[in-house]
Structure 1
């Protein structure tokens, strides 16, 4: 139980800025914490869920949604958004695999990355603003916080790293059982969106599979940036599906 608790805390450390104390030796391997990614995502989604639940009845929906996203950015430090921007710059600006990876390591954000951030935040905010009420919106934030991270350990398990170094390569030991556990947690979390669960899950799965295939073809595998970008793309796809269901 202590080992599992330490793995969960490591997952929270990797994906958020939430304080969970210091880990004692021996430290768990990064990949061993992958099963807890959706649980860490659920924890990270709690503050933005609280913000949307408190503000939606009193503010314009889009303003409340942007405040909720701001709370989420404070919790995660924009980790996943940074991956989305880096991947967009790399795929958009590089002609070769090596050049794409080089651009992705550059801390500067280019035009492709800036556009990806604007469009990503815009789609997430408008999707959240489409929720019919505050409770539905808060539950959706929690569900997508977990579900958008549930498939990431599958990438760690079945796709090779694009580089031999970096955070992505060091987290390779996810294991099939850990990956299946994470996927299960992510699927179960979709129960929170009720009748829209099937459509939302399908959209997340298709978006994640498409981006994973693109990264395999363009980069030769995954990296920390592609994992972050995958979380963002999956969450965006989930919001699009939810908005469609709410407006049907």
Structure 2
């Protein structure tokens, strides 16, 4: 329930006696929340496709934003603004990330991300590949397991997720999602590569991770998986 509350706007029963450590423990269920989100998105897209693939894409993209509350898009915009303004100054990078105002780099990142998802979902809807929408959000949230092992850039959510790790959870989810992808959408087996590439970039470019970086990674991996699935259908 805590994982659903943190990652979505879906209604759930209230978690009583909340402690910060509980949020760290809830991270093991992030891929499950991704599967729940994917199920809703695939259903929305399928319903819209009965009229037109573009309607399916519009409804799914808007649903994606509403269900998640724009949480990860906010992180993407913050990181884009920080990278655009920091000029390799670590202190400036963190200061811009914490700034609640939206800059031009963040606006451009949001426009590009939403446009990319809109077009890619339309192409998937036209091809009837609903299962990609089901599994891509789960794989993207699986990436948190790898990214949270980097040093935190500052006290915050990324640091909190590292308080309590479940060593078997990443492997269990990898096997589950890998088996489903091999059966239903082999193109999504590239997900661990995308997760690793983003982790390598974080380590090299930023030297650590923050909550905004986690959200950015989820958005990037989702889009890369949609793109990979679209390309694989065209080959």
Q: Same fold (TM over 0.5)?
A: yes
Counterpart residue number, 2:157 = 167
Q: Can you give the 5+ residue segments of structure 2 that lack an aligned partner in the other structure?
A: none
Cα distance in structure 2, aligned partners of 1:31 and 1:68:
29
Q: 1:200 aligns with which of 188, 195, 199?
A: 188
SS in structure 1 at match of 2:214 = helix
User: Number of residues paired by the alignment?
Assistant: 232
Counterpart residue number, 2:77 = 85
Counterpart residue number, 1:109 = 102
Cα distance in structure 1, aligned partners of 2:114 and 2:180:
22
Q: Is the 8 A contact 2:195 2:221 kept in 1?
A: yes
What does 1:124-163 correspond to in 2, within 5 Å?
124-131=117-124, 133=126, 135-137=128-130, 139-156=131-148, 158-163=149-154
Counterpart residue number, 2:10 = 18
SS in structure 1 at match of 2:124 = coil
> Normalized against structure 1, the TM-score is what?
0.85
Q: Is the 8 A contact 1:151 1:182 kept in 2?
A: no
1:223 aligns with 2:216: no
SS in structure 1 at match of 2:129 = helix
Q: CA deviation at 1:12?
A: 1.0
Q: Is the 8 A contact 1:31 1:174 kept in 2?
A: yes
Q: Is the 8 A contact 2:182 2:189 kept in 1?
A: no
* Cα offsets for 1:28-74 (capped at 9, x unmatched): 52221222111011112233222111011212x23320211101211
Q: 1:67 aligns with which of 46, 59, 63?
A: 59
Distance 1:184 1:113, change over 3 A: farther
Cα distance in structure 2, aligned partners of 1:10 and 1:175:
16
Cα distance in structure 2, aligned partners of 1:33 and 1:185:
18
